[in-house]
């Protein structure tokens, strides 16, 4: 190595990951704003750790037999939040391996306190422009329909940051491939355990 070579952190090998997974005795719960990559990173993380993956929004849709947008339209946000609280409690009770939550779930006091005591919360933090770009790919999010997505996401970030920052772990996602974010989460878990 030359004196000026950039520092590169050692890449985790699968047997390192297996050792970390063996010490992990609770669900990993991903929190953060819409578009942060919670579901994609979560699926990747679960497969690296050899655990199952559940998307809480999918579980809510399955229980309600309706899409998230339909639940908001027919019954309102309060009804959705009640369902979200119940579903996340059930997933933690069932000791799901990796759980991706909807962006508002961790703001709920009861859900947040349950996650913080029975699981490890990981905040996937991401800059607003990336969130805007990623959320523009699908028009399924009721909270982004009523105005300018950048403005809405900026306001939500300000409101929710005090809650997200209570997560035990935080990783930034930005433009990096989701597999790198998953690996960064495993490294953070390793240090936290
Ligand atoms: C929401 C985020 C969505 C979904 C619902 C409300 C929020 O999930 O739960 O539309 O309050 O931020 P994603 O974060 O997976 O998009």
Q: Residue 32 CA: which ligand 1 atom is closest?
A: 14
At 5, the pLDDT band (50, 70, 90 cuts) reads low
Q: Whose CA is nearest to atom 1 of ligand 1?
A: 103
C-alpha 13 to ligand 1 mean position (Å): 33
C-alpha span between 91 and 109 (Å, rounded): 17
Please check the confidence at residue 6 and state whether its pLDDT lies above 90: no
Q: Residue 57 CA: which ligand 1 atom is closest?
A: 9
In terms of DSSP bridges, do strands 98-100 and 28-31 run parallel, antiparallel, or are they unpaired?
parallel
Q: What angle do CA 150, 179, 183 make, to 5 degrees?
A: 105
Q: Whose CA is nearest to atom 16 of ligand 1?
A: 34
Q: Residue 56 CA: which ligand 1 atom is closest?
A: 9
Question: Model confidence over 124-148: pLDDT tens digits?
Answer: 999 999 999 999 988 889 999 989 9
In terms of residues, how long is the chain?
A: 193
Query: Mean pLDDT, to the nearest integer, of 65-72?
Result: 96
Please check the confidence at residue 2 and state whether its pLDDT lies above 60: no
| Contact by Cβ (8 Å): 90, 119 | no
The CB-side HSE value for 31 (13 A sphere, CA atoms) comes to: 29
Please check the confidence at residue 156 and state whether its pLDDT lies above 90: yes
C-alpha span between 184 and 193 (Å, rounded): 14
Q: Whose CA is nearest to atom 8 of ligand 1?
A: 102
Q: Whose CA is nearest to atom 11 of ligand 1?
A: 104
The token pair that represents 63 in the structure block: 């229980």
Task: Evaluate if pTM is beyond 0.85.
Answer: yes
Please check the confidence at residue 25 and state whether its pLDDT lies above 60: yes
């Amino acid at each position: 190595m030359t004196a000026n070579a950039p520092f590169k952190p050692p890449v985790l090998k699968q047997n390192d990951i297996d050792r970390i997974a063996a010490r992990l005795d609770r669900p990993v719960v991903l929190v953060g704003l819409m578009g942060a990559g919670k579901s994609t990173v979560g699926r990747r993380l679960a497969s690296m750790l050899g655990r199952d993956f559940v998307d809480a929004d999918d579980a809510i849709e399955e229980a309600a037999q309706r899409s998230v947008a339909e639940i908001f339209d027919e019954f309102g946000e309060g009804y959705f939040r009640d369902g979200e609280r119940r579903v996340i409690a059930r997933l933690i009770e069932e000791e799901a391996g990796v759980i991706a939550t909807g962006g508002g779930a961790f703001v709920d006091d009861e859900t947040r306190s349950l996650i913080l005591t029975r699981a490890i919360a990981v905040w996937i933090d991401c800059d607003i422009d990336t969130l805007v770009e990623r959320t523009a790919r699908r028009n399924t999010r009721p909270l982004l329909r009523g105005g300018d997505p950048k403005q809405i996401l900026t306001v939500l970030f300000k409101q929710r940051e005090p809650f997200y920052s209570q997560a035990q772990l935080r990783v930034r996602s930005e433009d990096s491939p989701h597999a790198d974010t998953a690996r960064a989460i495993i490294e953070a878990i390793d240090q936290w355990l």
